[in-house]
Amino acid sequence: MTVRIGVIGTGMIGRDHTRRIQQVLSGARVVALSDYDPAAARAVQAGLVPEAQVFERSEDLVASDQVDAVLVCSTGATHEPYVLAAIAAGKPVFCEKPLATTAAGADRIVRAEVDFGKRLVQVGFMRRYDAGYRMLKQVVDTEIGAPLMVHAAHRNQSVPESYATPMAIHDTLIHEIDVLRWLLDDDYVSAQVVFPRRTRHSHAGLADPQLVLLETKKGVRIDVEIFVNCRYGYDIQCQIVGEEGLANLPEPMAITLRKDARLQNALLVDWKERFIDSYDVELADFIAAAARGTAVGPSSWDGYVAAITSDACVEAQESGKIVPISLPKRPALYDQG
């Protein structure tokens, strides 16, 4: 069976997922496109998938009987209604992060999906599909004993003036919030944010770097350095310290060069390259599950927990206090992986 996919939102990521489905992956094809700017949708249609239908209204795309499954790649504020519409239609839906712009919105999606009684939503936390994190999870599960601490870093070469202090949580830490829960099979109970001296390469609206301290239910202590004007590259670090040993996320593959009195590897500078392969894998997972009428991978619940945790981290940024995090009981629908 070939899964017929409708793509909502044809900006950079929507266009890229369309290309992926049409030209790279087996098992699906894009049959419908929509965008708040219909000309944008038509441009993607013309360039990548002439046989697709362009819908003026995304609600109609979701409802179309030509569409088996939906990709939500539109602007964040529209994610909630489109995901709810897909659930209402009983169609698998892949939603780029954030699942919703508020925890309450994410909660509404969780409730709708629980009421429907089957998983339909996959959230675009692509790091869970990265080969390095998958190798790390395998080692954490089998080699290093109970995890005790995590030392992580999320560094960008630079960010524009529009990137303000809370975005360090919502746009940057959000990835660690999800992937560390998954790596540790654990949840957060508190957050604290500490501000080092500001780099001279930051701007007025951004305290950069930041150090986020998280504590989990099982007692793991996590420190994540967020440093988005680090100058030297895009660099993701993750070290898990366990009772029996210590494991590190691999560096991206690079050529070791001896030249100019240096032993040197090029570092990535563009974040888009770092997890590019994982987009293929996450969508392949979505397609395979959608062919069975369901969804796997990062769930609505994961999106909801990420929203609650982010809110606590932003409160910790503002208050300077240790902010407790508490979650409602997880619905049984989300008990499997």
Half-sphere exposure of 270 (CA within 13 A, CB side): 3
Element housing 311 (H / E) = helix 300-319
Half-sphere exposure of 36 (CA within 13 A, CB side): 10
**Contact present, 99 and 300 (Cβ < 8 Å):** yes
**The only residue of 9, 132, 298, 303 in contact with a second copy, by rule CB under 8 A:** 132
26 binds, among a second copy, Mg ion, none (CB under 5 to 8 A by kind): a second copy
User: Should residue 9 be labelled a site residue for Mg ion when binding is judged by CB under 5 A?
Assistant: no
C-alpha to C-alpha distance for 263 and 124, rounded to whole angstroms: 37
User: Should residue 136 be labelled a site residue for a second copy when binding is judged by CB under 8 A?
Assistant: yes
Phi, psi of 228 (to 5 degrees): -100, 5
Stretch of 98-106, 120-128, 161-169, 256-264 contacting a second copy, by CB under 8 A: 256-264
124 binds, among a second copy, Mg ion, none (CB under 5 to 8 A by kind): Mg ion
131 binds, among a second copy, Mg ion, none (CB under 5 to 8 A by kind): a second copy
Interaction residues for Mg ion, span 150-189 (CB under 5 A): none
Interaction residues for a second copy, span 195-234 (CB under 8 A): 195-201, 209, 211, 213, 215, 218-221, 223, 225, 227, 230-233
CB of 51 to a second copy, least distance (A): 12
151 binds, among Mg ion, a second copy, none (CB under 5 to 8 A by kind): a second copy
Which residue's Cβ has the minimum distance to Mg ion?
124
126 binds, among a second copy, Mg ion, none (CB under 5 to 8 A by kind): Mg ion
The count of residues in the chain is: 337
**Contact present, 284 and 297 (Cβ < 8 Å):** no
Half-sphere exposure of 231 (CA within 13 A, CB side): 4
Of 32 and 247, CB closest to a second copy = 247
**Contact present, 69 and 4 (Cβ < 8 Å):** yes
